[in-house]
A and B are shown apart, each in its own frame.
Chain A
Amino acid sequence: MNGFSFRRFLALLRKEWIQVRRDPFTLRMIIALPVMQLFLFGYAINTNPKHLPTGVLSVDHSTYERTLLMALKNTGYYDIRPLASEAEAERGLANGELLFVVEIPPNFDRSVDRGDQPPVLVDADATDPSAIGNAAAALAGLMTALDRDLPPSLRSTPGKVPFRFDLHARYNPEQLTVLNIVPGLICIVLIISTLFVTTLSITRETERGTMENLLAMPVRPIEVMLAKLVPYIVIGYAQVVMIMAIAVAVFGLPVRGSIPLLTVALGLFIASNLALGITFSTLARNQMQAIQMAQFTLLPSFLLSGFMFPFKGMPIWAQWAGELLPTTHALRIVRGMLLKGNGLAEIAPDLWPMAAFTLVVGVIATLCYRETLD
């Protein structure tokens, strides 16, 4: 009698569906918002982050190489760190620890001295083009970097340079900003349809007095909550499918990772939002307060997660704050899976922080939930 009743749960669920259908404003928002954002945000963002993590692969450690790396560092865009192997470089790029890998060819000094114009390979993580754009542009100014070390005959002149940079924009070769926006958009839209709408829908019961009636009936709180959550989980996934379908059809978004794994990872992200939403709704006395609390989460999720501005471009304290947000991790997972084809091993470091967040906030929500009106 006190246990979970599937019949009661179904009754609540049916009621929620009717209410969702009868609320044309919310339905319209749910459909229009992601589409509008997809087209509006797609082109807007450009910034100039510096000190981007850069790995260097080299066999010789020659004089010219040292000079060149010093010059890279002096641009302010590159933070140089030596790498042991190509595998390490690949891993670093895939999990986001490195944004660039600079590969100095063997016998670099000799090739330069011979006037062979050897290519220096620069692999860039182009999933977020705005993050690497200015750094990549700065490479052009480095052609004269070796001039002081070189005999006059080999110094750079117009039309003749001592070496070349070969830039590979990895994962997003055309550097389409929209490909970076789509994963972020998926996360933001999910926040709105899960965190916002559930918070509102629970608070609405309190505000309209129907919660008192629900509590006086033989329904369990868990049944009420689950029935509130399920419609919005379904809607959330439907939005993801819609955004991705448009992005694939119109903007050529690649889907390189495993769809089932992505579904699971997004499920965890949705769970973290719902836990937060329930917590807010137990604290908020009316829908206005609920909106304010949800806004309070939305803003940092926009600004600090790496959606609006490149994560690596933020000061350290802001990066720490960003690490606390589920959106930051969800964003990395979605970007990594769609554009880089990341698998479980690469996304694991971003899965557990979301799981921990969900657990902690879920406990808070349970503690705050009142079965009485006290």
Chain B
Amino acid sequence: MTADRVIDVRDLHKRYGERKVVDGLTLAVTAGEICGFLGANGSGKTTTIRMLCGLVKPDGGGGTCLGFDIVRDAPQIRRQIGYMTQRFSFYEDLTVMENLDFVAAVYEIENRAEAVKAIIDRMGLADRANQLAGQLSGGWKQRLALAACVLHRPKLLLLDEPTAGVDAKARREFWDLIHDMAADGLTVLVSTHYMDEAERCARIVYLSDGKIVVQGTPDEVAKGSGLVTFAATGDGLDLAARTLRRLPGVESAAVFGSALHIAGMDRIALEAAAKSLDGALVWREVPPQLEDVFIHLLSHPVKGAL
């Protein structure tokens, strides 16, 4: 293992019955990095994260997490990671304070009361400390879960779709907290479906059918996709989008605010499609957006895997 590799796993396999959920996945994450984990539902993100913290045993392959073997040393790994499950998994019949106190005690943290108070202050949970967790809204539940995950000062955070179903403001604040902690040296692996979140990651890894399809910085991924994108402004964008979507060479056509984006792999066909629309639309080429790339990957999983 290289010293600064917090996650270093090779050729992980996991199958449930006939279905290969994770199929030869190799992943390295360096210390202090925020790594975004993307992919369609069922692409193997959750299973990979569970294998990293020893909750699921891989059928093949292996490696290390924080320098510990993911199969043999699961208990050691668990002390030093914070794992936030996809579903809220703290006790709804306990208050915020009681949940955090429980977690602190389970990790055998010294000066428990102080540690709990510190995290409550840091996460802005003070007003809700004595509320039952079950009565919190989605955003506050997720904040409680994050507080509970970082209470024992883990070296690695595994976050499984932490912001699903949370409003934009709460998501923004959540990511500010994550960046704040990464600045202190915490390594974060976070799965998400949101493009704005993917763009806040230092590196993104895109999974499809249990395999890594592309990885790199958001910029590299966007540029390396080979996707050509044109944007147009003008009137009647929605109607134009509907027409364009049916033409050959156009893989996606979508309206973002006042601009219509069309994307495809075949430049000539795409240009022809854009010109075929007689009208007042003014076209210009733009660098592909991450979102265009992912839509492309989602709709062409096999081609994307090349």
- A: residues with CB less than 8 A from B are 1-2, 5, 7-8, 10-12, 14-15, 18-19, 22-23, 208-210, 212-213, 215-219, 372-374
CB distance from A261 to the nearest CB of B (A): 37
Of the listed stretches B3-11, B91-99, B183-191, B241-249, name the one at the interface; the rest are far from the partner chain: B91-99
Number of residues from B at the complex interface, CB < 8 A: 28
Q: Can you list 28 A-B contacts (CB < 8 A)?
A: A2-B75, A5-B108, A8-B106, A10-B105, A11-B102, A12-B102, A12-B106, A14-B102, A15-B102, A18-B93, A18-B94, A19-B91, A208-B92, A209-B85, A209-B88, A209-B89, A212-B89, A216-B53, A216-B55, A216-B78, A216-B81, A216-B83, A218-B79, A218-B107, A372-B55, A372-B56, A373-B50, A374-B57
Whether B217 sits at the interface, judged by CB under 8 Å, is no
* Across-interface contacts of A22 in B (CB, < 8 A): 93-94
Query: A7-B108, A209-B89, A210-B89 are contacts. A19–B56 as well, Cβ < 8 Å?
Result: no
Q: 1/0 per residue B40-60: CB within 8 Å of A?
A: 000000000010011111000
Whether B275 sits at the interface, judged by CB under 8 Å, is no
Whether B30 sits at the interface, judged by CB under 8 Å, is no
Whether B233 sits at the interface, judged by CB under 8 Å, is no
Docked CA distance A10–B56 (Å):
27
Nearest A residue to B84, CB-CB: A213
Given contacts A1-B76, A11-B106, A12-B102, 5 further A-B contacts (CB under 8 A): A7-B105, A15-B91, A19-B91, A23-B93, A209-B85
Q: 1/0 per residue B55-72: CB within 8 Å of A?
A: 111000000000000000
Docked CA distance A28–B79 (Å):
39
* Across-interface contacts of B50 in A (CB, < 8 A): 373
Name which of A12, A215, A219 has the most chain B CB atoms within 10 A of its CB.
A215
CB <8 Å contact, A213 and B102: no
Docked CA distance A364–B91 (Å):
29
* Across-interface contacts of A10 in B (CB, < 8 A): 105
- B: residues with CB less than 8 A from A are 50, 53-57, 75-76, 78-79, 81, 83, 85, 87-94, 98, 102-103, 105-108
* Across-interface contacts of B106 in A (CB, < 8 A): 8, 11-12, 217-219
Question: Which one of B53, B92, B94, B108 contacts A8 once the chains associate, using CB atoms below 8 Å?
Answer: B108
Docked CA distance A215–B57 (Å):
13
* Across-interface contacts of B88 in A (CB, < 8 A): 209
CB distance from A49 to the nearest CB of B (A): 48
CB <8 Å contact, A215 and B79: no
Docked CA distance A217–B89 (Å):
12
* Across-interface contacts of B78 in A (CB, < 8 A): 216-218
Question: Which one of A19, A212, A219, A374 contacts B93 once the chains associate, using CB atoms below 8 Å?
Answer: A19
CB distance from A228 to the nearest CB of B (A): 13
Docked CA distance A217–B53 (Å):
10
Query: A7-B105, A11-B106 are contacts. A210–B79 as well, Cβ < 8 Å?
Result: no
Name which of B91, B106, B107, B108 has the most chain A CB atoms within 10 A of its CB.
B106
CB <8 Å contact, B75 and A218: yes
CB <8 Å contact, B75 and A1: yes
Nearest B residue to A215, CB-CB: B55
Docked CA distance A216–B94 (Å):
19
Query: A11-B106, A15-B102, A219-B106 are contacts. A372–B89 as well, Cβ < 8 Å?
Result: no
* Across-interface contacts of A217 in B (CB, < 8 A): 78, 103, 106-107
Docked CA distance A77–B106 (Å):
62
CB <8 Å contact, A15 and B108: no
* Across-interface contacts of A23 in B (CB, < 8 A): 93
CB <8 Å contact, B94 and A15: yes
Nearest B residue to A7, CB-CB: B108
CB distance from A14 to the nearest CB of B (A): 7
Question: Which one of A5, A18, A209 contacts B98 once the chains associate, using CB atoms below 8 Å?
Answer: A18
Query: A372-B55, A374-B57 are contacts. A213–B90 as well, Cβ < 8 Å?
Result: yes
CB <8 Å contact, B57 and A372: yes
CB distance from B136 to the nearest CB of A (A): 15
Query: A218-B75, A373-B55, A373-B56 are contacts. A213–B105 as well, Cβ < 8 Å?
Result: no
Docked CA distance A23–B91 (Å):
13
Docked CA distance A2–B68 (Å):
15
CB <8 Å contact, A374 and B56: yes
CB <8 Å contact, B87 and A209: yes
CB distance from A215 to the nearest CB of B (A): 6
* Across-interface contacts of B85 in A (CB, < 8 A): 209, 212-213, 216
* Across-interface contacts of B55 in A (CB, < 8 A): 212, 215-216, 372-373
CB distance from B149 to the nearest CB of A (A): 9
CB distance from B145 to the nearest CB of A (A): 9
Nearest A residue to B53, CB-CB: A216
* Across-interface contacts of A212 in B (CB, < 8 A): 55, 85, 89
CB distance from A190 to the nearest CB of B (A): 25
Docked CA distance A22–B133 (Å):
13
Docked CA distance A374–B54 (Å):
10
* Across-interface contacts of B81 in A (CB, < 8 A): 216
Docked CA distance A75–B92 (Å):
64
Nearest B residue to A22, CB-CB: B93
Docked CA distance A10–B81 (Å):
22
CB distance from B55 to the nearest CB of A (A): 5
* Across-interface contacts of B79 in A (CB, < 8 A): 1, 218
* Across-interface contacts of B90 in A (CB, < 8 A): 210, 213
Nearest A residue to B86, CB-CB: A209
Docked CA distance A254–B107 (Å):
50
CB distance from B48 to the nearest CB of A (A): 13
CB distance from B303 to the nearest CB of A (A): 33
CB distance from B235 to the nearest CB of A (A): 49
